[in-house]
């Protein structure tokens, strides 16, 4: 069956779902006019020059999905979610090989906690959602999503260049297939544990992943962290960890996070990555929010020059309604070492600037 026919059938089926209690079609449409200098349309560093673009997901990632639940009484529920990313500027799916690349799971919720089975975000992603200074805005360019959460670990002239865990992609381990995730609600604390089956023929360890996380939230204070171990096909290990905090003081909110990776990439070859981030947001008016954030990324690789980058963001968001937001965004990147890479034989510029005016609609 052709992909467009599959999508048509799913949308038709969603009409039936929407007629039933507890099922819904939902999504986010986020598109902006973006001006970049010394960056390409995909925000990779270039050898210089300005470029106007139309970009999807500069605030929140454009997506669509189906979700639902059925209650059994006494706090028990069956749940499901199917969610795929969209490139709104071209109308294409975020991943050409997966219709529901973001989430595809079923779950069971109880008074004590929940269990979910299927393709899900990793535990570090869950931990970051509470303490990332940008609130997971601009996921494709946010260093906590890319590096700490492992959605795009390659930059400059270096990359892991191989798959760890069951994401299906090299250098992208933010979401994992074949995952069993368990959560337990302990008052102000949510505890999480997850295991992803590697499903490699003849062995249980290659491509498998396990980890645990804790999030504490009470009276405007949050502390959230997670640790994971991922393996590649050769059973080499990638260890990842994240720990952060958030504090709400009247109209001010402060967030900070630290992320760390250590990956065995070959015989005697390792990569160490560190991400430090902090930010402040201020509710200027009931419908006007200012958010600022700063990220510092450092990478050390066996046999290579240490590199990394610094990146700062500012967002001004105006809510026109509960579903509609207009926003202004700016970002500035300073590359370190040879992280900017080259274009042909010419070194790319070490400085990158982006400015966006955008509209986000939730449905």
Structure tokens at 7: 């999508």
DSSP 229-269: EEE-TT--EEEEEEEEEEEEETTEEEEEEEEEEEEEEETTE
- The C-alpha torsion from 97 through 98 and 101 to 105, rounded to 10°, is -150
Distance CA 242, CA 228 (A): 9
* pLDDT for the residue 360: 98
In degrees and rounded to multiples of 5, residue 144 shows phi and psi of -70, -35
Nearest to 120 by CA among 184, 193, 191: 193
Q: What is the pLDDT of residue 11?
A: 43
Domain boundaries, the chain: 22-362
Do residues 43 and 354 make contact, with C-beta atoms less than 8 angstroms apart? yes
Q: What share of the chain is helix, strand, coil (3-state, %, to 5)?
A: 10, 60, 30
- What CATH architecture is 22-362? Beta Barrel (2.40)
Residue 49 has a pLDDT of 86
Beta bridge partners of 277: 257, 295
What is the per-residue pLDDT across 52-94, written as a single tens digit (0 to 9) for each? 999 999 999 999 999 999 999 999 999 999 999 999 999 999 9
Q: How far apart are CA 32 and CA 283, in angstroms?
A: 23
Widest pairwise Cα distance in the chain: 66
Q: Is 321 exposed, middle or buried (0-12, 13-18, 19+ CB in 10 A)?
A: exposed
Say how many residues make up the chain.
363
User: Which residues have CB under 8 Å from 228's CB, separation 6+?
Assistant: 122, 123, 124, 209, 210, 211, 239, 240, 241
Separation CA 185–CA 31 (nearest Å): 36
pTM of the model: 0.91
Q: Answer for the pair 116, 107: CB distance below 8 angstroms, yes or no.
A: yes
Task: Please answer whether residues 312 and 334 qualify as being in contact, where contact means their C-beta atoms are separated by less than 8 angstroms.
Answer: no
The structure tokens listed for 130 are 């509470």
Which is it for the CA torsion 270, 271, 276, 277, positive or negative?
negative
Distances (CA, A) of 164 to 147, 230, 302: 14, 6, 19
The residue ranges of the chain whose pLDDT is under 50 are 1-21
Whole-number Å distance between alpha carbons of 174 and 102: 9
pLDDT of residue 342: 85
The CB-side HSE value for 3 (13 A sphere, CA atoms) comes to 8
């Amino acid at each position: 069956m052709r992909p467009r026919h599959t999508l048509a059938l799913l949308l038709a089926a969603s009409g039936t779902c929407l007629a039933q209690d507890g099922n819904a079609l939902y999504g986010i449409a986020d598109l902006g006019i973006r001006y970049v200098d010394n960056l390409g349309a995909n925000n990779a560093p270039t050898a210089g020059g300005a470029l106007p673009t139309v970009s999807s997901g500069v605030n929140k990632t454009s997506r669509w999905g189906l979700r639902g639940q059925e209650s059994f009484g006494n706090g028990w529920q069956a749940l499901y979610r199917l969610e795929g990313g969209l490139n709104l500027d071209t109308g294409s799916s975020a991943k050409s090989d997966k219709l529901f690349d973001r989430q595809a799971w079923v779950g069971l919720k109880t008074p004590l906690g929940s269990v979910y089975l299927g393709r899900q975000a990793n535990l570090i992603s869950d931990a970051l959602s509470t303490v990332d200074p940008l609130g997971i805005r601009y996921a494709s360019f946010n260093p906590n999503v890319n590096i700490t959460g492992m959605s795009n670990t390659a930059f400059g002239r270096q990359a892991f260049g191989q798959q760890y865990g069951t994401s299906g992609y090299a250098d992208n381990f933010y979401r994992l297939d074949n995952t069993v995730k368990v959560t337990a609600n302990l008052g102000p604390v949510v505890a999480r544990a997850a295991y992803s089956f590697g499903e490699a023929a003849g062995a249980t360890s290659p491509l498998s992943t396990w980890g645990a996380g804790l999030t504490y939230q009470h009276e405007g204070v949050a502390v959230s962290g997670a640790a994971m171990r991922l393996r590649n096909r050769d059973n080499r290990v990638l260890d990842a960890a994240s720990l952060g905090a958030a504090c709400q003081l009247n109209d001010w909110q402060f967030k900070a996070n630290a992320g760390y990776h250590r990956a065995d990439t070959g015989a005697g070859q390792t990569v160490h990555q560190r991400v430090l981030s902090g930010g402040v947001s201020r509710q200027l008016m009931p419908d006007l929010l200012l958010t600022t954030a700063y990220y510092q990324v450092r990478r050390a690789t066996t046999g290579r020059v240490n590199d990394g980058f610094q990146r700062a963001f500012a967002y001004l968001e105006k809510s026109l309604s509960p579903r509609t937001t207009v926003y202004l965004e700016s970002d500035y990147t300073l590359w370190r070492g040879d992280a900017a890479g080259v274009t042909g034989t010419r070194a790319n510029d070490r400085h990158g600037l982006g400015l966006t005016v955008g509209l986000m609609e939730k449905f």
